[in-house]
Amino acid sequence: MSSADILPSCLMADAGVLASPDFRTALDALPVAVYMTDADGYVTYFNRAAVDLAGREPTVGKDRWCVCWKLQRLDGTALPHDQCPMAIALETGRPIWGKELLAVRPNGTTALVLPYPTPTFNEAGVLSGAVNLLVDMTERRSAENDSRYLAAIVESSDDAIVAKDLNGTITSWNLGAERLFGYTADEVVGKSITILMPPGYQDEEPMILSRIRSGERIDHYETLRRRKDGSLVNISLTVSPVRDADGSIIGASKIARDITGHKRATEALAARLREQASLYSLAERQQRAQDIEEVYDASLDAIQSALSCERASILLFDKSETMRFVAWRGLSDQYRQAVDGHSPWAADEKDPEPIYIEDIAVADISQELRRVVEAEGIHALGFIPLVAGGRLIGKFMTYYDLPHAFADSETSVAMTIARQLGFSIQRLRAEEARQRAEEQLRRKEAMERERAAELMAIMQAVPALIWITRSPDCTEIAGNRAAYDLLRRPSGSNLSLSAPAGEGPDNFQVFSQGRLLAADELPVQRAARGEEVPNFEEEIRFEDGSMRHIFGNATPLRDATGAVVGAVAASVDITERKVAEEALQESERRLQIALEAGRMGAWEWDTGTGHVIWSPGLESLHHLEPGTFGGTLADFKRDIHPADLPLVELEIAKALKTHENYHVIYRIKLPEGSIRWMEAFGQFSLPGTGRALKLAGVCMDITERKEAESQRSLLVAELSHRVKNTLAIVSSIARQSFSTNPELREARDSFNARIRALAQTHTRLAEASWSGVSLETVLFDELSPYSDASGSNVSLSGPTTMLPPKYALTLGMAAHELATNAAKHGALSVKSGKVAIAWSVDPEERRLRVSWQETGGPPVPEPKQNGFGRLLLERVVASDLGGEVRLEFASEGLKCTIDVPHPRTP
């Protein structure tokens, strides 16, 4: 039942109401056009808003079906009055809602109206007329305001009037009260008014009396009271203070109105008004909706409001003719996924009807679907088809948390919403199609009219740099604002470097890969010759020394025949990117230098995927070609020395468990079989959300360090051994020097000289970190004090022969003794004397032979007793080196031959 059904029935229950001034005043006060007709369609009443809307004063009893001068359909065709919605409503006896039309005024203006004609029936069910609300859609009035005005005219006539004193004692009781509550006046006068109050309402009376004592009037206070038979009745109270002649409050007058029927009627009226308000709001919002989402929101609001459902959704067929959710309220993702694609109608079904499930528990549906629906807390639902252009396009659904009986009025409202929703979807789709077509047409027309103008508009709008020329010779080039700003030229000036002298720019030059470009090599000039110039990169250098880098494309402009008529280039300023790239490259170069200098390589291990990345430097350390590393942990372990693999795996496991830094020293075996020592460091990087840890670090070749450490240990042991030997040698030198020479001073000089010779050899060994010294160096050091200015008296010859520390010390002492003896008694004691030292190596016998030959000196007699020098030569060389010494005291000079095992190269 609509509000137009309820309103006449409420008003015409009392025939005098219709003619009452208050009723006329209330209707005339409504801002919504309202008029009534009799069963034949003749106007019986109209309000002022109807006159304003129609633009004319209708004639009661003469105008038929409509108060408007003329009517038109939305397509502009005339709509006869006998075919208007009011005429159809009277003919069919059914409300006709939601059909918009145009009302034409006598002055030629029109108004878009949405009529709501509703037939009225008398108590016998016979058609008595109709009431029509004309919603002026052009003014977009609020249906809620209309509803409040209509609700204000609803009143009740069966009133109970009761008087009471300030203690709540009943002092008077009228027949209306007797009829309403069942008590006679004799039964209640003198008793407390609280006899009418059911349990839970006793606190109302003290509150009412308190407000009355303060002089306050209580209007239309709705509450519940108990009749004599115990039944409860809904009443509306109006309580006014009663004053005596002096103005003092002595009691209260209470008017109680039975609003049980009124509440039912009000609820029904509220439902109808809610429906109308929802439909009005829907029509208004859909009319001004700019996109489909606004239509969906307005429709869902109307569905929930008009149909009083807790949840709602809209589904449309997609291109595959599968029903898909496009908007919803209060539905879970799980429910939508479970029922998505379900439709009770085929896509090509004609005239589909609404389908209702009033109680899901007893509905004839599959158990699986029942479980899904019940799990969502839905106990009743309705399927309302959406039709547009005579074709089923989708549906909207209503969901109720309790079983629900669907009334015919709900179906009528639902179908009205469906028609409006379908129409709006069709309108927006048509509008989108029209806009697309118009946009395509505008683009085509604009292109055909003036392509250059469009390009210029685009040029000025985009932040990229754009240059354009409209002549193949490129004597004039224009640009957008960004281009002028970057080139530091006034807006509108000629940017072409191909311009005649004095007409083009002179504040910059263009380079590519460090080379100055001629004007005809520039991208715009090349494109103007018909060449596509993709991905060009240029450096613009300004006269103040600054520069900018740009990257872009250039393409020819052609006319309708395909002839080149110009060119356009678009580019972006990549200076900051270039600076960042250069900084990154420099950083990477420095890092690579550091890695190469330190014989290091970088690596990264994704613990989630197991993928391992090696830098080229690390591949080089493993003697692999760049890019040939396999990229797995197994590939990494393949080169590790088997004896060190357990240690590496242990350190990896420990790092994974603790997330602490990874450090391990191990050996690798290279493909050619050599062994290298490696030291690895790694740290875990913080993972992103849902991502595995990554362990990254460096690995360095420490083979030389390990060998140096080994050498150092060997040298420490060797030094300890040599110190002991040296002390023994010093002790022996001292003993021999002082025991064989009776002259103390001469013995001391001899001792000092031998110690200096020993120290000199020690110095040479220390300079070489005790790794060894050449035989030539040992001999040169001992004989250089005796060599003349020309150096011709001393000659050294032989292959390069390195001596280990033991050999160097022993042979150095031997050379010192021979040189000292030659300087005192032999060839070096005279200017004509010469000493020739030669040595050779026998690789087969692995022997080192040293020959000392003196010539040109005084005759050398064989000594009668052996001194320390001879003892050192013969005994020490033999004992320390396992060699043999032969001395020949020939007349031409001393000859000494030393034959020792050839030492291994240190």
How far is 435 from 292, CA to CA, in rounded Å? Answer: 14
Between the CA of residue 97 and those of 4, 393, 789, what are the distances in Å?
11, 22, 135
| Residue 732 sits in the same domain as residue 777 | yes
With bands split at pLDDT 50, 70 and 90, how would you rate the model's confidence at 313?
very high
User: Would residue 728 count as lying in a domain?
Assistant: yes
> Which range, 65-69, 754-758, 858-862, is most confident?
65-69
The two three-digit tokens of residue 795, written as one number: 């000659």
What is the DSSP-derived secondary structure letter of residue 517? P
| Residue 105 sits in the same domain as residue 39 | yes
Quote the domain boundaries for residue 17: 3-151
Percent of the chain scoring above 90 in pLDDT = 38
Q: In this predicted model, what pLDDT tens digit does every residue of 645-659 receive, in sequence order?
A: 999 999 999 988 888
Between the CA of residue 155 and those of 128, 259, 261, what are the distances in Å?
22, 9, 11
pLDDT at residue 812, rounded to an integer:
82
| Residue 127 sits in the same domain as residue 208 | no
User: Would residue 771 count as lying in a domain?
Assistant: yes
pLDDT at residue 767, rounded to an integer:
59
Pairing of β 515-516 and β 465-469: unpaired
The two three-digit tokens of residue 505, written as one number: 């720019």
Phi (first) and psi of residue 10, to 5 degrees? -70, -40
| Residue 12 sits in the same domain as residue 84 | yes
| Residue 76 sits in the same domain as residue 219 | no
The two three-digit tokens of residue 41, written as one number: 């369609």
Residue 36, helix vs strand vs coil? strand
Q: b/e string for 332-356 if b means 16 or more Cβ within 10 A?
A: eeebeebbeeebebeeeeeebebeb
Q: Is the pLDDT of residue 411 over 50?
A: yes
C-beta contacts of 860-866 below 8 A and 24+ residues apart: 860/825, 860/826, 860/889, 860/890, 860/891, 860/893, 860/894, 861/889, 862/889, 863/889
Choosing from 123, 151, 179, the residue where a domain stops is 151
> CATH number for the domain including 639?
3.30.450.20
Partner residues linked to 614 by β-bridges: 603
| Residue 64 sits in the same domain as residue 168 | no
| Residue 754 sits in the same domain as residue 843 | yes
Q: Is the pLDDT of residue 687 over 80?
A: no
Span 812-821, average pLDDT = 84
Tell me if 273 sits within 8 A of 147, measured CB to CB: yes
User: Would residue 52 count as lying in a domain?
Assistant: yes
Residue 113, helix vs strand vs coil? strand
User: Would residue 441 count as lying in a domain?
Assistant: no
Strands, E, within 227-341: which ranges? 232-243, 249-258, 311-317, 323-329
How far is 823 from 829, CA to CA, in rounded Å? Answer: 5
For 695, other C-beta atoms within 10 Å of its C-beta total: 20
User: Would residue 53 count as lying in a domain?
Assistant: yes
The two three-digit tokens of residue 898, written as one number: 């030393």
User: Would residue 273 count as lying in a domain?
Assistant: no
| Residue 722 sits in the same domain as residue 650 | no
| Residue 724 sits in the same domain as residue 779 | yes
Span 223-232, average pLDDT = 92
> CATH number for the domain including 878?
3.30.565.10
Q: Is the pLDDT of residue 903 over 90?
A: no
Looking from the CA of 628 toward its CB, the CA atoms found within 13 Å total 8
- How far from each other are the two terminal CA atoms of the chain, in whole angstroms? 118
What is the DSSP-derived secondary structure letter of residue 661? P
Model pTM score: 0.30
The H-or-E segment that residue 549 falls in is strand 547-558
Tell me if 363 sits within 8 A of 370, measured CB to CB: yes
The two three-digit tokens of residue 540, written as one number: 């613009």
Q: In this predicted model, what pLDDT tens digit does every residue of 619-629 receive, in sequence order?
A: 888 888 888 89
Instruction: Enumerate residues 6+ apart whose C-beta is below 8 A from 651.
Output: 662, 663, 664
Span 589-597, average pLDDT = 60
| Residue 400 sits in the same domain as residue 492 | no
How far is 376 from 115, CA to CA, in rounded Å? Answer: 39
How far is 398 from 278, CA to CA, in rounded Å? Answer: 15
Q: Is the pLDDT of residue 723 over 80?
A: no
Choosing from 151, 168, 194, the residue where a domain stops is 151
Choosing from 114, 135, 151, the residue where a domain stops is 151
How far is 248 from 770, CA to CA, in rounded Å? Answer: 130
| Residue 838 sits in the same domain as residue 772 | yes
Burial tier of 116 (Cβ tally within 10 Å: 0-12, 13-18, 19+): buried
Domains: count for the chain? 6
How far is 640 from 156, CA to CA, in rounded Å? Answer: 102
Q: b/e string for 793-811 if b means 16 or more Cβ within 10 A?
A: bbeeebeebbbbbbbbbbb
Q: Is the pLDDT of residue 39 over 70?
A: yes
Average confidence score pLDDT of the chain: 83
Looking from the CA of 222 toward its CB, the CA atoms found within 13 Å total 6
pLDDT at residue 286, rounded to an integer:
79
User: Would residue 687 count as lying in a domain?
Assistant: yes
| Residue 168 sits in the same domain as residue 225 | yes
Q: Is the pLDDT of residue 129 over 60?
A: yes
Least confident of 135-149, 156-170, 263-277: 135-149
Q: In this predicted model, what pLDDT tens digit does every residue of 11-25 receive, in sequence order?
A: 333 333 444 456 566
User: Would residue 445 count as lying in a domain?
Assistant: no
